[in-house]
Structure 1
Amino acid sequence: MTAVIGLAFGASVFLTSALSGVFGMAGGLILLWLLLLLLPASSAIAVHGVIQMVANGWRAVRSRAFIDYRIVAFAVLGLLAIAAVLTLARYTPEKATVCIAIGLMPILVWLPKSLFALDASRPLHAFICGVIAGGLNITVGIAGPTIDVFFIRTAMDRRKIVATKAVVQMTSHALKVIFYARSALALTPDEWLAIAAAAPFAVLGTNAGHAILHRITDHHFRTWTRWIVTVIGAFYMAQGLMLIL
């Protein structure tokens, strides 16, 4: 990996981490899209998992006062359950399928609340959130827009949403890295060096996003979340269709 590509990668990690620091998602969608351009699907998902573990972990630390640990506990049970199932099934990702699946996810944030009255503060819903988050994170590398359906319509404020989602996503990404450990170990030393060098950018970007989060309103948070993930989803859908055609 050349120095120019390394710097571009670091800048991408910073900007996407900042975006996720504000909205609790979206940045990871862009980062995975960039990684899919450079690496095979399984390797891209593994690298994405490592970087997102750092970004979400630091976001959880910065917002720890707002974490709802009860929701986290039930969600993690769901994550572990689906990870066990997919391990037994020996699932292997395919790039076009990954892109199309992610491209369809933003539809969920536009569905009327009456159709899916999901609420992460309810134990069963939190468990289901964990199952879906873990399943999608392992199979297609991203689950943010789907997790958002369980949080964006609750009575929780934006800081509590971002903090609690950060812990759930961090755990989900950790399971994803373990699932794709073989692909991760196949990366070259230069690629691992680039990943290690990008970690501080993830922390800095998260700090920047955290500062912005406290300056926006809950209304703007919910509105911009929907539009941002929709635009990103359209790019994924286009890439997936191009791969098939």
Structure 2
Amino acid sequence: MSLTWLGVYLAIAITSTLSGVLGMGGGMLLMGFLTLVLPTGTAMMLHGLAQMAANGSRVLLHIRHVAWRILPAYGLGAAGAVFLLYAVQFLPERWLIYLLMGSMPWFALYGKRLMVLDIEKPLHAVFCGLLVTTLQLASGVSGPALDIFYLHTRMSRHQIVASKAITQALGHGLKLLYYGSMLSTAAFSSSEILAVCGVALLGTVLGGKFLDKANDQSFQLWSRRIILLISVVYLVQGFYELSLVLGVTG
């Protein structure tokens, strides 16, 4: 096993645990790590595989809390996003990935003051599927944007984590298919696929244990602080990468 893959497995385990507690955040950290050590297309596919496994296992862990009623409308919006981006054969640059990941939490923080969105309303759910899936395909992650649609629901923390997980599993599955249909160099061996799914499941189980010990107030407070801290790092990195592309530095 190479050091790169050892680092990938460790990153998946840690970030899956974080997402299991907060319902988000882990995907942002994992995407940042993968784009540093792998080509963008390969990173997107591996991220999609890991996050689909992590979110899928989280669904099984909290399946009794899933709000199934939101799925049809969400799925309609998600399908629209895939169709639009595939029509133009969109492949993102790394600087765009970082800037999108870094700006999403701030949009989520201040967007709730401009928009009152509720995932339980059908039209809002369609918009959520369209926006979140577009961001997943463009930057790899979409957790902070997805969070806006849960700020005004009456769901418990377990319902939020479970419902986010099932929509995120769908989105990452679509991302895996999207990039797999356009790239032929990002295939993984069966042993690598099993290892990725295994460590993602391990992180999910550990995160679920921590979630059970949290309370709703601390859950919301620490979610916001951690995500904003991560976003600042990505904004700095994104602007640096863009400056290199434009020839401003280096």
**In the alignment, what sits opposite 2:95?**
96
Does residue 25 of the first structure (1) align with residue 24 of the second (2)? yes
* Cα drift, residue 101 of structure 1: 1.3
| Counterpart mapping for 1:1-245 below 5 A | 2=2, 4-111=3-110, 113-182=112-181, 185-187=184-186, 193-245=191-243
Q: Distance in 2 between matches of 1:141 and 1:244?
A: 18
How much does 1:241 deviate? 1.5
Say whether the 8 Å CA contact 1:40–1:95 is kept in structure 2: no
CA distance 1:193–1:186, shift in 2 (3 Å): farther
8 Å contact from structure 1 (residues 56, 167) kept in 2: yes
| Stretches of structure 2 lacking an aligned partner (at least 5 in a row) | 244-250
Instruction: Report the AA paired with residue 23 of structure 1.
Output: L
Q: Distance in 2 between matches of 1:56 and 1:188?
A: 21
Aligned residues: 243
- Compute the displacement of 1:239 (Å): 1.2
How far residue 7 of structure 1 moved from its aligned partner, in angstroms, is 2.6
Is the 1:120–1:151 contact (alpha carbons within 8 Å) kept by the matching residues of 2? yes
Kept in 1: contact 2:58–2:204 (CA 8 A): yes
Q: Percent identity?
A: 34
1:107-144 residue CA offsets vs partner (Å, 9 max, x unmatched):
12322644211111111111111001111001111111
The corresponding residue for 2:248 is: none
In the alignment, the residues of structure 2 paired with residue 183 and residue 89 of structure 1 have an alpha-carbon distance, to the nearest angstrom, of 12
Q: CA 1:217/1:181 → structure 2, altered by over 3 Å: closer, same or farther? A: same
Q: C-alpha separation between the residues in 2 aligned to 1:86 and 1:154? A: 30
TM-score by length of 2: 0.92
CA drift of 1:236 comes to 1.0
TM-score scaled by length of structure 1: 0.93
Q: Distance in 1 between matches of 2:216 and 2:152?
A: 11
> How many angstroms apart in 1 are the aligned matches of 2:104 and 2:241?
18
Alpha-carbon displacement from aligned partner over 1:209-239 (angstroms, at most 9, x marks no partner): 0111111111111111111111111111111
Q: Give the 3 Å change call, closer, same or farther, for CA 224–184 of structure 1 in structure 2.
A: farther
Shift of 1:193: 4.2
Q: Do the aligned partners of 2:17 and 2:207 also contact (CA within 8 Å) in 1?
A: yes
| Residues 49 and 173, structure 1, Cα contact 8 Å, conserved in 2 | yes
| Coordinate RMSD, CA, aligned | 1.7
CA drift of 1:149 comes to 0.7
Q: Distance in 2 between matches of 1:21 and 1:153?
A: 21
Q: Which runs of 5+ in 1 are unaligned?
A: none
Distance 2:167 2:216 in 1: 21
Matches of 1:170 and 1:232 in 2, distance apart?
22
Distance 1:184 1:119, change over 3 A: same
Q: Give me the whole-angstrom Cα distance separating, in 2, the residues matched to 1:50 and 1:62.
A: 18
Say whether the 8 Å CA contact 1:67–1:163 is kept in structure 2: yes
Q: Is the 8 A contact 1:152 1:161 kept in 2?
A: no
Q: For residue 53 of structure 2, what is the amino acid of its counterpart?
A: V
